[in-house]
Amino acid sequence: MGVPVSLAVISTPTPRLTATLGDPATSVAWISNSGRCGSTLLIQMLETIPGMRCLSEPDVTTNVALLSRSGEIDAKETETLTRACVRYLCRASPGVSHVAVKLRYTCVTEVRLVQKLFPGFRHVYLYRDLGNVMTSFYNFIHRDLAVCMLEKVINSSTTLPPVRSRVRAYLAGMIAWADCYNRDELVQVLSHGTFMGYSTAIICSNLAVFKRDLESGETQNVPTLHYDDLVRRPRVVSSRLFEHLSISISHVAGALVALDTDSQAGTIASNIQHRGNKHRIRKMTADDIDSMNAALKAMGLPDMTQRLHMPVSLMQDSTDS
C-alpha cells in the first residue's frame, strides 16, 4: 500500500518542505522591538499600504529563539530552522510586493542570524523608555493566572524554600544571558527581590544584549526608533522610516490615519485586557519598583525614571521639527 499523501506531507521536515520556496523575492521589513512600545501601531500603519502583507509576532520565530536560548537546539539547528521558517513566512503570494514581520521582544537576539541568512532584509528596532515598557508589561502579565501563581510562589513567605529555588531557576532560564553583564551578580540581585525583578530581567535582558551588540558594532544596519519620536513628529519620522524600508513615501499620508486608531484593538493583549476588566490588578509596590530598578542596574540599563537612549538612531541626523 502506498503512503497517504497527507501523512507524507505532515511527516516532511520543515526545512525540506520550504526548500523549494527559496529565499524571499519580495521586499521584507524585519521589525524588532522592546515590547509594549507601539509596534502594533506601526504594523497597523504598514497595513494601509497596497501590496503589503503584515505578520505580527509569529509563534514560530519565538519558539526557535527560545529553543536556541535554552540549549534545546544547537547553532546549526537554529540556523536551519530560522531559514526554513522565514522562507515560509515571507513566501511569494499573488499581489504581495512587500512583507513586514513584527517579532516578539525575545527574538531580537536572532537579528544577526537573520541578517546573515537574508542580507537583503531591511531592519528597524522600535522601543520606549523602560518605565513605560515595564509599567505596561506589569498591567498585561497580571491578567494571566499562571503568571500570578508564579509571582505568589516567589513573593510569599510561606513558600517552601526548595519550591521557590526551583521556580527561581526556571525564571532565570528565560533570561537572555550575555557578557554585557555579570550573570552571578544579576542572579544574586534577583534572589533578594520580588517576582517583578525576574520579569524585568526576562524582558529587558533582550534589549541589553541588543544594545551591547549595536554599541560594539557586532550588529549593524539596524537603526533604532523611539516611539515618542513617532508620536511627536509622525510625518517626519514616517517618511524617514518608509524611505529606510524601501517603501514609497507617497503612502505616508494614508499610513498616518492609523495613528488615530486603537493600536491594540483585536490583539491578544486587548482581548486579555477586556476579559480582565472585572479583575482588580494588584498595585505595583515600592518593593516591586526597587526590584525592577535593581535588575535594570545589574544589566547596565537606566532605571524606570530615566530616558533610554539606544545607539544608531534612525533620526539622529534629523533637524526637522
Instruction: Report whether pLDDT(95) > 70.
Output: yes
- The predicted-structure confidence for 16-62, as pLDDT tens digits, reads as follows 778 888 999 899 999 999 999 999 999 999 999 999 999 999 999 99
- 38: domain CATH number is 3.40.50
* pTM of this structure: 0.90
* 10 in a structural domain: no
> What is the per-residue DSSP string for 148-175?
HHHHHHHH-TTS-HHHHHHHHHHHHTTS
What average pLDDT does the segment 126-138 reach?
97
> How many structural domains does the chain have?
1
pLDDT of amino acid 90: 97
* 317 in a structural domain: no
**How many whole angstroms separate alpha carbon 178 and alpha carbon 183?**
8
Cβ-Cβ contacts under 8 Å for 32 (sequence gap 6 or more):
103, 105, 107, 108, 111, 123, 124, 125, 126, 210, 222
* 237 in a structural domain: yes
What average pLDDT does the segment 268-295 reach?
74
- The predicted-structure confidence for 155-205, as pLDDT tens digits, reads as follows 999 999 999 999 999 999 999 988 889 999 999 999 999 999 999 999 999
* 306 in a structural domain: no
**How many whole angstroms separate alpha carbon 6 and alpha carbon 34?**
40
Q: Residue 280: which domain range?
A: 19-298
Question: Please, which pLDDT band fits residue 2 given cuts at 50, 70 and 90?
Answer: low
Instruction: Report whether pLDDT(109) > 50.
Output: yes
E-assigned strands of 78-121? 98-102
* 131 in a structural domain: yes
* 309 in a structural domain: no
Average of per-residue pLDDT values in the chain: 90
Instruction: Report whether pLDDT(260) > 80.
Output: no
The candidate with the shortest Cα–Cα distance to 200, out of 136, 132, 295, 304, is: 295
* 7 in a structural domain: no
Terminal Cα distance for the chain, rounded: 72
* 6 in a structural domain: no
Measured in whole angstroms, the distance separating CA 178 from the mean position of its chain's CA atoms is 17
- The predicted-structure confidence for 42-51, as pLDDT tens digits, reads as follows 999 999 999 9
